[in-house]
Amino acid sequence: MQDFRRIILDNGLRLILVPQPGNLAATVAVAVEAGSKYETKEINGLSHFLEHTCFKGTTKRPRAIDISSELDGMGANYNAFTSQEMTAYHVKARKESLEKVLDVIADVYLNPVFDPKEIDKERGVITEEINMIEDTPQRRIHDFFMELVYGDQPAGWDVAGRKEVIARLTREDLMKYRSEHYIAPATTVVVSGGFDEKGIEKKIAGYFSGLKDGKKSGKVPVHESQDKPAELIKTKDSDQTHLVMGFRAFSLFDKRRFALEVLADILGSGFSSRLWQKIREEMGAAYYVRASADLYSDHGLIEMWAGVDHKKLEDVIKASLEGFARFRDEKVGEAELERAKEHLVGNLFLSLETSDELAFYYGLQEIQNLPILTPDALAKEIKAVSAEDIQSVARDLFRNEGLNFAVIGPFKEKSFSDILKI
């Protein structure tokens, strides 16, 4: 479907070019191997804080308004995000504005000034973001689930960090962390959409020439240990119970990931998925119910989540466990298997119509150091998954010693351990 070029510049910067002839827009995304798993407990939340402060002023554009007004003046869409294993900055604009976009995004990435006054103001912004997450149980439950599974190590900490840590982080902390992680070999620049390939490599090399080479600071390997089902119950007066249930899996580099993606699609992706039909349509117990594989560089999960009627929680737990166990105990039928594969492939290709999604597709693979699969190659891997592959991975993963359950709801001194068995 899509040709791309992968180039490594002299300073080690990785460049991915994904042209879309005829597209009226172009996207530039810059991703770096820096996220919450690269932090210590004393600076948990710094990667995310740093992402925010890069937009607060640069040597060329000293105020936040100088950056935002220039991008708004192009009619651009722009943002950034931080996850466990990466931080990414991205701008999408008309293809005619590509060189201006490169100038701005390179400036933001390379030349933040870290004005102490702006840093202090941004503490308040991030504190309110943390408060918002704490007040949104549908989102907060996923943090609790990661805490349950991984405990007191980076994989179990919140990406946004803790308020008491955010309150004491200094300009020097930000600058030290940035110098250790924001280096050329750990950075990927992706340009996608309707751009002219002629001369683009040279332009990008020029804009990012100030990015230093160096040795990257690594992250602590994830430690996993579990021998029985685990639960975490957070008491909260609410009109709905929010839960996440899942099993330990494997990393992004495991070939079984394609089978797990198809399994997750059958389990809880789309209105025809098994959990949607059972929990929402048949039981009338939830408004939302989903499932997905959540895989990282050295660990992974397969999980379902839902917001359910308090009184029907135990029935939902049992139905969900039966849903997982069914993959282990019987093979998926041919018609259901083909429908799931077509659903995954169809969603994949539809999602890549836009230049920004295309940039994320290629950029995330590169920054995670995966062999880059084109959409056609990924579709081929998905279509090759068999019913036997799905049953095999289910038998590997769906065991009591890998089962975890987190819930937020009005439950005091309550345990569900008697039904947490598969």
- Pull the structure tokens for residue 116: 């102490």
The closest of 264, 248, 262, 255 to 300, measured between CA atoms, is: 248
**pLDDT tier at 413, thresholds 50, 70, 90:** confident
pTM of the model: 0.95
Statement: residue 68 has pLDDT above 60? yes
Looking up residue 124, the CATH number of its domain turns out to be 3.30.830.10
The domain containing residue 131 runs over which residues?
Answer: 5-207
- pLDDT per position as a tens digit, 131-181: 999 999 999 999 999 999 999 999 999 999 999 999 999 999 999 999 999
Residue 267 lies in a domain: yes
Residue 215 lies in a domain: no
Region 55-66: mean pLDDT is: 97
Distance CA 419, CA 422 (A): 9
Are 188 and 300 found together in one domain? no
Are 180 and 234 found together in one domain? no
Phi, psi angle pair for 148, to nearest 5°? -60, -50
Burial call 334-344: b when 16+ CB within 10 Å, e when fewer: eeebebbbebb
The residues near 34 (Cβ < 8 Å, ≥ 6 apart) are 47, 50, 86, 87, 177, 181, 182, 186
Region 110-131: mean pLDDT is: 97
- pLDDT per position as a tens digit, 343-357: 999 999 999 999 999
Are 237 and 121 found together in one domain? no
Residue 416 lies in a domain: no
Integer distance in angstroms from the first to the last C-alpha of the chain? 42
Are 80 and 130 found together in one domain? yes
Region 233-257: mean pLDDT is: 97
Are 259 and 173 found together in one domain? no
For position 3, what pLDDT does the model report? 85
Amino acid at 122: E
For position 417, what pLDDT does the model report? 95
Are 186 and 281 found together in one domain? no
Distance CA 266, CA 332 (A): 9
Are 151 and 283 found together in one domain? no
Are 11 and 148 found together in one domain? yes
Cα separations (Å) of 366 from 100, 171, 179, 297, 380? 24, 30, 21, 12, 19
**pLDDT tier at 2, thresholds 50, 70, 90:** low
- pLDDT per position as a tens digit, 373-382: 999 999 999 9
Are 167 and 44 found together in one domain? yes
Region 214-243: mean pLDDT is: 94
Total domains present in the chain? 2
Are 175 and 274 found together in one domain? no
Region 176-187: mean pLDDT is: 96
Domain boundary residue among 192, 207, 222?
Answer: 207
Residue 299 lies in a domain: yes
- What is the residue-averaged pLDDT of the chain? 97
Are 159 and 248 found together in one domain? no
Residue 384 lies in a domain: yes
The sign of the dihedral angle between the CA atoms of 123, 128, 133, 137 is positive
Statement: residue 226 has pLDDT above 60? yes
**pLDDT tier at 43, thresholds 50, 70, 90:** very high
The sign of the dihedral angle between the CA atoms of 31, 34, 35, 37 is positive
Are 155 and 96 found together in one domain? yes
